[in-house]
């Protein structure tokens, strides 16, 4: 397997070095204390980790800090108030450059407004907004006041919003009049009204940012305009410290394996690990880099790698409101060119979409400022990895494939740029300070070239502290599987290769069992996508009378479909050849679309429902629930 050692010029200037692993191994707590001291502590901590109440950790438990102070005030105090924090790019082509001083000012106004509304530390605030600067301002204002935010993706239905608002008992919802969707304004405040309906709820106020200029339904007293309240509020506000374990946010997982879980994160450990990983994994240099993470704030990547990690590290970043094809497929490349983006972090699904659109599009732009590329959300197939490096990275930039989860809060497994010789498709190994193992069902570590279950065998600073309102589900989901060892069960399968490097194989729930052989969805999908005619693929195991499970594949083609029958046999043969005849799909369906979550993940559990002819399970987190009509008629 070819690996890609770091370019010497990159290694020479990299933030990380191999010694980081040694330091962390020699003294884990000391290492994390050092990382925590990237932050400003109003009251310094004296203890690092308290694991006596496992599986609920306390990190830096006697320390006190303010997250917003760390992301804003201290940079302004240090003389960087004029540095651009956010180059915001609106979907219709409007843009705003917001400096750290201006962002601080806005956050203070919002904090004063929230206080005037009677909110006190520990209260919950729901945020239901597109990617506008006010969404980030709201998150930071909550953090500043010790309010716990719960961001609900703005593409979710009123029902999904209501469930999350009720679960967290939010007192305030912050929203917009509407959002831009491929050139057209779509209502959003309307959905809040529908969610609240006439049944009593915990919500006392709805604060509305004007974004698209749509008329909105209005309930006097309850509803308030941002530009009449926040804009008029005082810009001075002194940040108070909160204990390191004060709750920061609740965020629901994407629901690929079942009903979404309200993951709870706290303050000191979370900010420590997001800042540490953003610095080392992205090799971020404040004042030099132009960083762009393409995630939405509605998922954890937006929390950790748009808001908290980058701002704690004084990044200058691009935040883009729209979709990659508004007004056309050039948009991302134009933005990279316009701002001179140096670090670009996205999801494999988008890379495969770019591949499908063709390389003429990126080739029409100057992407030479890019010096590091990242991937998150799903296993990246080697084909897409190589294309990404070649087309975006001039065959030279490091690619960091970052494995983590809403639950882990920050990156856990990834190559270190400038240090690791990365392999296409492999997440490589745990970061310094993180400990992971691949074990069999009994908890015995697997050998080289074997696969098993991914576990985290040591607590980490940004780990979840529970599932909101459901600590039993917390223990059951993550800690019961290896209760006697005290390990965190990630729910993902992984393989160690002959060099001991780690490959993520996808959800354990998705692993297929064909005639007693365990086959990973990621491997079969990668083989299918390796064929030039296939743009995207999703495979599931459907029950089969003879083999236990049979592999059913759904594929999207790159161009116009050739003779479909011939292609299907060709694809089946390709999988047999690449993996083994056992992995040969029983059925391959050519479809126009795949069901995906808001974060771009394929919902295999719903495809399994289709393949087995069952009623569909929970579809509330799908981007577009109508895809099943297209799949059914394909
Ligand atoms: P739910 O837990 O509700 O089913 P989810 O797991 O999709 O939702 P997230 O927390 O957003 O919600 O996703 C984390 C999962 O994404 C990981 O467990 C893993 O399966 C997958 N993942 C993330 N990054 C990578 C990566 N770099 N390589 C492979 N898989 C990844
Ligand atoms: Mg999960």
532: domain CATH number? 3.30.300.30
- Is 91's C-beta closer than 6 angstroms to any atom of ligand 1? no
Domain-located, residue 228: yes
Same domain, 150 and 234: yes
CB 467 less than 6 A from any atom of ligand 1: no
pLDDT (tens digit per residue) in 23-57: 999 999 999 999 999 999 999 999 999 999 999 99
Q: Is residue 503 part of a domain?
A: no
3-state secondary structure of 139: helix
Give the distance (Å) from ligand 1 centre to CA of residue 129: 23
Q: Identify the three-state secondary structure at position 386.
A: helix
Ligand 1 touching residue 525 (CB < 6 A): no
Cα of 526 to ligand 1 centre, how many Å?
17
Together in a domain, 149 and 50: yes
- For position 625, what pLDDT does the model report? 77
Longest dimension (CA), the chain: 71
Query: What 8-state DSSP symbol labels residue 582?
Result: G
Pair (406, 304) in one structural domain: yes
Query: Given this model, what pLDDT does residue 616 score?
Result: 86
Taking 70 as the pLDDT cut, the residues of the chain under it are 560-563, 633-634
- The token duo for 527 is 């083989």
Residues 464 and 519 in one domain: no
Model pLDDT, residue 264: 98
Contact 513, 548 (CB under 8 A): yes
Q: Is residue 549 part of a domain?
A: yes
Give one DSSP letter per residue of 210-256, joined into a string. -SS-------TTTEEEHHHHTTTS-S--PPPPEETTSEEEEEE---S
The CATH number covering residue 325 comes to 3.40.50.12780
Amino acid 624: pLDDT: 80
Q: For the chain, how are helix, strand and coil distributed in percent, rounded to 5?
A: 30, 25, 45
Residue 561, pLDDT score? 58
Q: How many domains does the chain have?
A: 2
Quick one: 125 and 179 in the same domain? yes
User: Structure tokens of 379?
Assistant: 């296993």
Q: Is residue 506 part of a domain?
A: no
Q: Is 376 in the pocket of ligand 1 (CB under 6 A)?
A: yes
Q: What is the CA(477)–ligand 2 centre distance, in A? A: 10
Q: Are residues 264 and 354 in the same domain?
A: yes
Residue 633 pLDDT = 64
Give the 3-state secondary structure of 338-378: HHCCCEEEECHHHHHHHHHHCCHHHHCCCCCCCCEEEEECC
**pLDDT value of position 560:** 63
Residue 255 CB–ligand 1 contact under 6 Å:
yes
User: Does ligand 1 have an atom closer than 6 angstroms to the CB of 253?
Assistant: yes
Domain that holds residue 93: 8-491
Whether residue 618 is found in the same domain as residue 553: yes
What is the Cα–Cα distance from 104 to 77, expressed in whole angstroms?
11
Question: Closest ligand 1 atom, CA of 601?
Answer: 7
Are 104 and 20 in the same domain?
Answer: yes
Q: How far is CA 262 from CA 120, 249, 251, 358, 414, in A?
A: 21, 10, 5, 39, 25
From first CA to last CA, the distance across the chain in angstroms is 37
Q: Are residues 148 and 228 in the same domain?
A: yes
Residue 497 lies in a domain: no
Report if residue 505 sits inside a domain. Answer: no
Compute, in angstroms, the gap from residue 566 CA to the centroid of ligand 1: 34
Phi/psi of residue 323, nearest 5 degrees = -95, 160
The verdict on 446 and 546 lying in the same domain is no
Q: What are the φ and ψ backbone dihedral angles of 37, each rounded to 5 degrees?
A: -80, 5
Q: Judge contact between 619 and 582, C-beta under 8 A.
A: no
Residue 398, ligand 1, Cβ within 6 A? no
Please tell me whether residues 454 and 546 are part of one structural domain: no
Cβ–ligand 1 contact at 507 (below 6 Å): yes
Indicate whether 522 and 408 sit together in one domain.
Answer: no
This model's pTM is above 0.90: yes
Report if residue 509 sits inside a domain: no
What does the DSSP assignment read for 457-512? -S--TT---EETT-HHHHIIIIISTTTTTTPEEEEEEEEE-TTS-EEEEEEGGG-E
237 domain-assigned: yes
pLDDT for the residue 630: 78
Ligand 1 pocket, mutate which of 302, 373, 404, 414 (most atoms under 8 A from CB): 404
Please tell me the distance between residue 249's alpha carbon and the centre of ligand 2 in angstroms.
Answer: 17
Ligand nearest to the CA of residue 345, numbered in listed order = 1
Cβ–ligand 1 distance for 348 under 6 Å, the answer: no
Q: Which residues are close to ligand 2, an ion, with C-beta < 5 A?
A: 253
């Amino acid at each position: 397997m070819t690996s890609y050692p770091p370019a010497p010029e990159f290694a020479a200037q990299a933030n990380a070095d191999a010694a980081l692993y040694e330091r962390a191994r020699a003294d884990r707590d000391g290492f994390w204390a050092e990382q925590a001291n990237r932050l400003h502590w109003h009251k310094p901590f004296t203890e690092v980790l308290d694991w006596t109440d496992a599986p609920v950790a306390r990190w830096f438990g006697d320390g006190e800090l303010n997250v917003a102070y760390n992301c804003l005030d201290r940079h302004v105090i240090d003389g960087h108030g004029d540095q651009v924090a956010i180059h915001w790019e609106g979907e219709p082509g409007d843009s705003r450059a917001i400096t750290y001083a201006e962002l601080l000012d806005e956050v203070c106004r919002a904090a004063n407004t929230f206080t005037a509304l009677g909110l006190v530390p520990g209260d919950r605030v729901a945020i239901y907004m597109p990617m506008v600067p006010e969404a980030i301002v709201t998150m930071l204002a909550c953090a500043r006041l010790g309010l716990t935010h719960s961001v609900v993706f703005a593409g979710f239905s009123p029902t999904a919003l209501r469930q999350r608002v009720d679960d967290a008992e939010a007192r305030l919802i912050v929203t917009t009049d509407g959002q831009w969707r491929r050139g057209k304004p779509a209502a959003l405040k309307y959905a809040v009204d529908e969610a609240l309906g006439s049944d009593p709820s915990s919500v006392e106020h709805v604060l509305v940012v004007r974004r698209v200029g749509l008329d909105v339904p209005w309930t006097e007293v309850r509803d308030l305009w941002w530009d009449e309240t926040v804009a008029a509020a005082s810009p001075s506000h002194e940040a108070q410290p909160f204990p390191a374990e004060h709750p920061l946010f609740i965020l629901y997982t994407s629901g690929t394996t079942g009903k979404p879980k309200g993951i709870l994160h706290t303050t000191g450990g979370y900010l420590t690990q997001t800042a540490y990983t953003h610095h080392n994994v992205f090799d971020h240099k404040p004042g030099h880099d132009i960083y762009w993470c393409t995630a939405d704030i509605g998922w954890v990547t937006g929390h950790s790698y748009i808001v908290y990690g980058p701002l704690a590290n004084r990044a200058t970043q691009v935040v883009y409101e729209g979709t990659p094809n508004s007004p056309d497929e050039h948009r991302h490349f134009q933005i990279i060119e316009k701002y001179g983006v140096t670090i670009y972090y996205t999801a494999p699904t988008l890379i495969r979409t770019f591949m499908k659109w063709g390389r003429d599009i990126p080739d029409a732009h100057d992407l030479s400022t890019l010096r590091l590329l990242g991937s998150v959300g799903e296993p990246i197939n080697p084909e897409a990895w190589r294309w990404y490096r070649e087309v975006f990275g001039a065959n030279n930039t490091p690619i960091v494939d970052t494995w983590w989860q809403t639950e882990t809060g920050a990156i856990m497994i990834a190559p270190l740029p400038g240090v690791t010789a990365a392999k296409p498709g492999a997440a490589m190994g745990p970061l310094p300070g993180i400990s992971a193992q691949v074990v069999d069902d009994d908890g015995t570590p697997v050998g080289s070239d074997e696969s098993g279950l991914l576990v985290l065998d040591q607590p980490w600073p940004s780990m979840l502290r529970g599932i909101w309102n459901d600590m039993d589900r917390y223990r059951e989901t993550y800690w019961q599987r290896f209760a006697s060892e005290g390990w965190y069960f990630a729910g993902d399968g992984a393989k160690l290769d002959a060099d001991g490097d780690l490959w993520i194989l996808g959800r354990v729930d998705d692993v297929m069992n064909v005639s007693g052989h365990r086959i990973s969805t990621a491997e079969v999908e990668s083989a299918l996508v390796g064929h030039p005619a296939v743009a995207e693929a999703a495979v599931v195991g459907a029950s089969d009378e003879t083999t236990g499970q049979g592999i059913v594949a759904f594929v999207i083609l790159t161009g116009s479909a050739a003779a479909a029958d011939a292609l299907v046999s060709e694809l089946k043969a390709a999988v047999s050849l690449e993996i083994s005849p056992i992995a040969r799909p029983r059925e391959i369906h050519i479809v126009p679309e795949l069901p995906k979550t808001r974060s771009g993940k394929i919902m295999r559990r719903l495809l399994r429902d289709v393949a087995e002819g069952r009623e569909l399970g929970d579809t509330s987190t799908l981007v577009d629930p109508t895809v099943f009509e297209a799949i059914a008629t394909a």
